[in-house]
Amino acid sequence: MPERTVAVASRSGLHARPAKIFVEAAARQAVPVRIRVGDGKVVPANSMLGVLTLGAGHGTEVTLEADGPGAEEALAALADLLSRDLDAEGAEGAPDAGAGAAGAA
């Protein structure tokens, strides 16, 4: 199963607006993505409640995992999103992480 580990760059961690941006991007992926902190509970990345319960603050390393066609692309898009300070970018600066390679054309 493909996995990616990334540190949460947003100053507020995965709370409020950064969590909303992340969850919405996860929901747009072609495959279901799961997220966890360390060896903790795995939750669906498209679940706002699940993501908030992780308590992932600034600098916390989270692991993303997915299976199936498009899993690597989904993980890359979401890892890229988490590696940026979404608090500083604001809503209009948030990328369409669901576009993947097709959106780059």
For 23-77, the pLDDT digits (tens) are: 999 999 999 999 999 999 999 999 999 999 999 999 999 999 999 999 999 999 9
Residue 99 lies in a domain: no
Q: What is the CATH number of the domain that holds 59?
A: 3.30.1340.10
Q: Give the range of the structural domain holding residue 16, as residue numbers without chain letter.
A: 3-89
**Residue type at 87?**
D
State how far the Cα of 66 lies from the Cα of 73, in Å rounded to an integer.
10
Pairing of β 61-66 and β 43-44: unpaired
Which residues contact residue 80 at a Cβ distance below 8 angstroms, ignoring those fewer than 6 apart?
95, 97
Residue 100, in any domain of the structure:
no
Active site residue 15: yes
CA 93 to chain centre: 16
Among residues 15, 21, 46, 86, the one annotated as catalytic is: 15
Percent residues over pLDDT 70 in the chain: 85
| Number of separate domains in the chain | 1
- Other Cβ atoms less than 10 A from the Cβ of 101: the count is 10
pTM score over 0.75: yes
From start to end of the chain, where are the E strands? Answer: 3-7, 33-37, 43-44, 61-66
Confidence category of residue 102, pLDDT binned at 50, 70, 90: very low
Q: Determine, yes or no, domain membership for 67.
A: yes
